[in-house]
Amino acid sequence: MVAKGDMVYAWAADAAVQEKGECGGAITALQQYALKSGMVDAVLAVKKGQDLYDAVPTLITDPVDLAETAGSLHCGTLLLSKVVKKYLESTENTRVGVTVKGCDLMGLIELAKRDAVDMDRLLLIGVNCGGSVSPVSARKMIAEKFGVNPDDVVKEEIDKGQFIIVTKDGEHKGISIDELEEEGYGRRSNCRRCLYKVPRQADLAAGNWGVIGDKAGKATFVEVCSEKGAELLNKAAAAGALETSAAIPKGIEIRGKVENAMLKLGNKWRKNDFNALSSDLWGTIERETARCIKCYSCIENCPVCFPASEDLKGNSRMVTTGEIPPNPMFHLRRFAHISDSCVNCGQCEELCPMDIPLALFSHAIRSEGDAAFQPKLGRAPYKN
Ligand code: FAD
Ligand code: SF4
Ligand code: SF4
């Protein structure tokens, strides 16, 4: 039996799920059990779409279908917070299991602070996240740095500081993320600045860091973060859905060290990115946003931006309608709306057709406040 605060290695009991899972399939087994047992009515997970660079959210009500969501996709453009909000709004009293990265979770918590999401209806399995790569950058990086046709890649993973690909001919190639990033490839710029690597405000936090010994690569390290998480793990193990063993103390130590190293790296990137802006923040915003075609993608895709769209898009007292590019006030007003909630998910920037570095601006503005304010972004008051 586990309790809140415990750390274990876990893997699926079912051999097929074990095989298909990223690190032994514990998450898939837990979601399957949660559905079968009625702890949740549906699971929102992610599956491969057209190709490896296309991560698609999918709502599942039949436990068998969860097999197609096993595995980690590091190169999709994806944020689940607003999808969860929309689903909860469209149903009454349903409970949903969701696998969340730190940014998905932070977005949900910020929405909950605004009473836009009821956290009691969610069962959250967090995945540690060292960062993801945008589909466009991933294809470019694989073609230019790995010398491989991106369509020939059948698996990608990030392990021990390397981005690794496996081709359809079974060839493995890995290049250090540091080297890739020095040359302008690698993780999204917002992921580099992220300081939320282990999502401890989920019910369980799962990842591969710290799994050593004969279970390396075959099990998931699970930190139990809430009573609800302990209940799920205990019941799933008792029902024979997954197996667990105590985490090796040396593995716990290694996981802590890796997490700290990632946080240090995140702070280094913040310094690098924000310092470059500091001498002329306003000038840079004015110059960059002059390309804006007012498509509203940054508003639609921001997890924490949901004022009445009429207010944002037209009939506003603050911004003249029908003007392209819009007056910089269009952007300043948005920064003001989300400035205390920008979780640095990067969606606004990645999905801007004019490549305006919007997340950089809003994160630079927000992180200054976050250094002083409580509760921190994506944290309390929603303690689990
Ligand atoms: P599985 O049973 O294979 O289940 C995987 C679950 O992840 C499924 O529910 C699936 O829907 C979901 N999923 C897949 N891709 C995404 C996505 N892009 N966004 C949201 N959910 C997704 N662990 C670490 O310790 N260190 C890391 O640096 C790290 N980086 C990661 C980065 C990403 C983008 C992802 C998705 C995961 C990362 N992980 C990391 C977690 C690790 O890869 C495994 O997901 C974890 O160990 C669980 O393995 P499993 O076999 O139990 O999961
Ligand atoms: Fe303008 Fe880019 Fe936002 Fe579209 S996504 S409104 S182009 S800033
Ligand atoms: Fe994400 Fe951009 Fe919204 Fe910040 S402003 S939460 S980076 S979409």
What local confidence, expressed as pLDDT, does residue 373 receive? Answer: 80
User: What's the token pair of residue 347?
Assistant: 């969606």
pLDDT number for residue 317: 67
Q: Are 13 and 28 contacting, i.e. CB atoms less than 8 angstroms apart?
A: no
HSE, side-chain direction, 13 A CA sphere, residue 372 = 5
Domain total of the chain: 3
Q: Atom 5 (ligand 2): residue with closest C-alpha? A: 352
Domain identity same for 203 and 339: no
Instruction: Tell me, yes or no, whether 120 lies in a domain.
Output: yes
84 plus 159 within the same structural domain:
no
How far is it, in rounded angstroms, from Cα 359 to Cα 355?
11
**Ligand 3 atom 8 nearest Cα:** 302
Q: Is residue 48 part of a domain?
A: yes
- 69: tokens are 């969501």
CATH code for the domain of 207? 3.40.640
Give me 2's structure tokens.
């586990």
For ligand 2, mutation pick of 295, 301, 361 (most atoms within 8 Å of CB):
295
Helix ranges, the chain (H): 15-20, 26-36, 81-90, 102-113, 135-144, 177-182, 189-192, 227-238, 249-278, 281-289, 297-301, 309-313, 329-338, 347-350, 358-372
Q: Is residue 22 domain-shared with residue 52, that is, in the same domain?
A: yes
The CATH number of whichever domain residue 157 belongs to comes to 3.10.450.750
Q: Does 198 lie in the same domain as 177?
A: no
- Claim to verify: residue 140 and residue 128 sit in the same structural domain: no
Measured from the alpha carbon of residue 326, the closest ligand is 2
Residue 79 CB burial class (10 angstroms; 0-12, 13-18, ≥19): buried
**90 and 208 share one domain:** yes
**Is any ligand 3 atom within 6 A of the Cβ of residue 346?**
yes
Ligand 3 atom 5: the closest Cα is on which residue? Answer: 342
294 Cβ closer than 6 Å to some ligand 2 atom: yes
Helix/strand/coil percent split, the chain, to 5: 45, 15, 40
Quick one: pLDDT at residue 380? 62
Does the Cβ of 96 fall within 6 Å of ligand 3? no
Q: How far apart are CA 6 and CA 157, in angstroms?
A: 27
| 296 CA to centre of ligand 2 in angstroms | 6
pLDDT block averages, 10 residues each, the chain of length 384: 97 97 97 98 96 95 96 93 95 95 95 92 97 95 97 90 93 93 93 96 97 96 98 98 97 97 95 92 94 93 75 64 86 86 94 96 88 75 57
| pLDDT at 371 (0 to 100) | 79
pLDDT for position 313: 59
**Are residue 122 and residue 208 in the same domain, yes or no?**
yes
Distance spanning both ends of the chain, measured CA to CA: 19
pTM: 0.95
Q: Which residues contact 225 (CB under 8 A, 6 or more apart)?
A: 4, 126, 200, 201, 202, 203, 204, 205, 384
3-class SS at 124? strand
73 lies in which domain range? Answer: 7-132+193-262
The atom of ligand 3 lying closest to the CA of 366 is 4
Q: Tally the C-alpha atoms within 13 A of residue 11's C-alpha that lie toward its C-beta.
A: 21
